[in-house]
Amino acid sequence: MSEPLQEVLPLNRPTGVESASRSWRLAAWWRRGVFTTLVLAQTVAGIWAMLGILPYHGATGVEFALIVLFALLFGWISAGMWIAVFGFVVRRGGGDRLSLLQRHRHDLGQTPLAPTAVVMPIYHEDVERSMRGLRATYRSLERTGRLAHFEFFILSDSRDPEYWLAEQEAWHRLCCELGAQGRLHYRRRRVNLKAKTGNVGDFLRRWGQRFRYFIVFDADSLMCGDTLVRMVRLMEREPQCGILQTAPALINARSPFARLQQFSNHVYGPLFTSGLAALQLGEAAYWGHNAIIRTQPFMRHCGLRAMRGLGLFRGPVLSHDFVEAAYMSRAGYEVWLEPELHGSYEESPPSLDDELTRDRRWAKGNLQHLRLLVGGRGLHFAHRMAFLNGILSYAAAPLWLGFLILSAIEAARLTLWPIDYFPRPYSPFPAWPQWHPDWALVLALATAVVLFLPKILALTDVLLRRARRRAYGGYWRLSAGILLESIGSVMLAPVRMFAHTRYVLGALLAIRVHWTGQNRSEELAWGPTLLRHTPAALIAVGWGAFGYYLSPEFFYWSLPVAIPLLLGAPTSVILSRFAWGERLRRAGLWVIPQEAGELAEPLLVDLDKGPLLREAPPGLNAFEMTVLDPHHNALARRLARTDRGPRGRLVEELRTRCREEGPQGLSVREASLLADSREALAWLHRAAWMVGPEQPWGARTNALAVAICNSPGRGVPSGKTSQPDRTEAAVLCERESQRSGSS
């Protein structure tokens, strides 16, 4: 292991660095002041209009609660609108002069590089997709000629041997294909503590001293080699920068849902990320992936202990990234979001239900930030606001639902009960209810402007750049795509509201959230989807019936929420179908620049190049292939451990039972124990090929024998039939096993 790298601390900043820091901090206060004034002014105007609409002008308890909820919701969407406006101004002005890229646009190319690790934590992921993405990134970096400064680490937390055996095989094939031995590493933790944070922490304890920086990938991350190089150079130019976050764009979408998300990300995303970066400057958030981190200060200041409170505030911090950024800033380092660092990508879940499954964990993690928002010591105000924004991303759902329920109560009270002229207790003066339909129309139009102005600005931003306009298919296809996206968002919003409300309530009730892998490549089935969406559909029917009972006007007002909930299941299933996504692509709708034309992304070509994993014979899973196939067996033995003590005795019992009863009776834990035992793998490999055809392993050896003897390059005469003798196949396997063991 090399000597630890000396770290430049922000306490010893050069004079120019301190001047730049003062400059962006003054600009941040000025920009945030203008932003806050605009949001507050718009929110106050909305509250004033809402007070005029309500019959008692907020004098009753229900109306007062409506005003409070309206203020929170309207203020939150107003903040989003003004962030987009800021982003539009920055982009039309040629970029933010205070951003790191703008500061170093002339001298970045001459900056030397430093040792950097690219780490990819994975847990029960799509192995083929994850490794192909890593392969594409590796090849892109290799083309820059700067590969010698980087090493790659696959950090597995997978527990099911069906996943981690495939990961090992894919890693080995990658090393052979890329000639990456000694540069592409694989490590699987046998004890899974603290999920992703524990996985990265284990890497840092073992290898962190070797690298000045490390770049964090998700399983679906994809980055251009030039982007990786520029990130390291920016960190070298800015010794006070602790974390540099890119703005990853969605890519490789296949289903209509994923393509909708991808299109929105590419059209609207640049405005929001540019506006957010302009407001946060050196106090940005860390998003957990596609970012570069300065190793030593992260190890010193960003360790996360388990929370020791009650309920929601007990246990590990689930959304760790925002907290790590806040701790890095508290230690005196800067955290930057750089939206102009292109070539950083990730993928969208293929369906709404998969997105909502991921949101369950994110909802609880963001709500945990309430404790840091209120009681975090020494945290910067900007990071507290980032916590608040994350909390509202999920808390807005129950707030919106509460607003709808209170609106229904208000309508029912005015319809079913006589008018109350004395809503204030003990007041001698009557209150005459007043209705202002014209004010209601004005407020509705104002809300529509707040929601749709970012889309209009994004459309304008694209149209003003000829290359981007052509890459999206021209004006008409781009406009049609935005119209379809708006309709899709309207249909999905109530479904998300209902799901997020359940997640928030579950988090507040301290219901445990399980850490699971994410589906990235499968469509939804009708049966389970109907079951998941039935409760929301029944509520929608009840909601509509109640609205019709009250008045036709209230019924029509409830339809934009009731109809999407009623159609939640078919909407989710249809939007998960890959065939429909391909039809949209061929029609030129929801197309992004990276898919075609002048801006086509070479990474996508590398991503689609040939599979890594060899397809197993029918009926054989990864564990069975590891036992039987000599190549798989030899690789697994090299990565397995030697058994001793009680564990060794347990493995001996399991391997005997596995030989006699077959692998189908093993639990996941038992199969994992055998697959991680060097002695058990060697013993089972020999034993499985020696049993008779009537034994449980007989059919499996027959299946593999057919595959081995019919595959090219195995030394079998071309005239052999597809049903070879098992003895001959066993001899061939033994020969391959000896060859693999000596290689």
In eight-state DSSP terms, residue 597 is G
What's the pLDDT tens digit per position in 567-583? 999 999 999 999 999 99
What's the pLDDT tens digit per position in 628-672? 999 999 999 999 999 888 888 999 999 999 999 889 889 999 999
Phi-psi region for residue 280, left (φ > 0), alpha (ψ -120 to 50) or beta?
Answer: alpha
Give the range among 201-210, 425-434, 439-448, 500-509 with minimum mean pLDDT. 425-434
| pLDDT at residue 721 greater than cutoff 50 | no
What's the pLDDT tens digit per position in 359-390? 999 999 999 999 999 988 999 999 999 999 99
pLDDT at site 183? 96
pLDDT at site 9? 44
Q: How far apart are CA 398 and CA 80, in angstroms?
A: 19
| pLDDT at residue 601 greater than cutoff 80 | no
Residue 6: pLDDT band with limits 50, 70, 90: very low
pLDDT at site 521? 79
Residue 717: pLDDT band with limits 50, 70, 90: very low
What's the pLDDT tens digit per position in 673-711? 999 999 999 999 999 988 888 888 888 888 787 776 666
Mean of the pLDDT values across residues 332-338?
96
Give the mean pLDDT of the chain.
88
| pLDDT at residue 588 greater than cutoff 80 | yes
The torsion angles phi and psi of 471, rounded to 5 degrees, stand at: -65, -25
What's the pLDDT tens digit per position in 494-505? 999 999 999 999
- The H-assigned helical ranges of 54-107 are 61-92, 100-103
Bridge partners, residue 241, by sequence: 334
Residue 589: pLDDT band with limits 50, 70, 90: very high
To which residue do tokens 């196949």 refer?
A: 729
Q: How far apart are CA 386 and CA 330, in angstroms?
A: 14
Residue 417: pLDDT band with limits 50, 70, 90: low
- Whether 213 contacts 293, CB under 8 Å: yes
pLDDT at site 5? 42
pLDDT at site 685? 93
What's the pLDDT tens digit per position in 213-255? 999 999 999 999 999 999 999 999 999 999 999 999 999 999 9
| pLDDT at residue 435 greater than cutoff 80 | no
pLDDT at site 423? 63
Q: Percent of the chain having pLDDT more than 90?
A: 67
Q: How far is CA 107 from CA 3, 16, 98, 111, 147, in A?
A: 29, 15, 15, 7, 21
Phi-psi region for residue 195, left (φ > 0), alpha (ψ -120 to 50) or beta?
Answer: left
Mean of the pLDDT values across residues 148-156?
97
What's the pLDDT tens digit per position in 37-79? 999 999 999 999 998 888 877 778 899 999 999 999 999 999 9
Q: How far is CA 472 from CA 262, 268, 339, 458, in A?
A: 12, 13, 20, 13
pLDDT at site 650? 93
Give the range among 187-201, 242-256, 332-346, 598-612 with minimum mean pLDDT. 598-612
Give the range among 428-437, 714-723, 728-737 with minimum mean pLDDT. 714-723
- The H-assigned helical ranges of 214-351 are 225-237, 256-267, 269-280, 295-301, 320-330
Burial (CB count within 10 angstroms: exposed 0-12, middle 13-18, buried 19+), residue 664: exposed
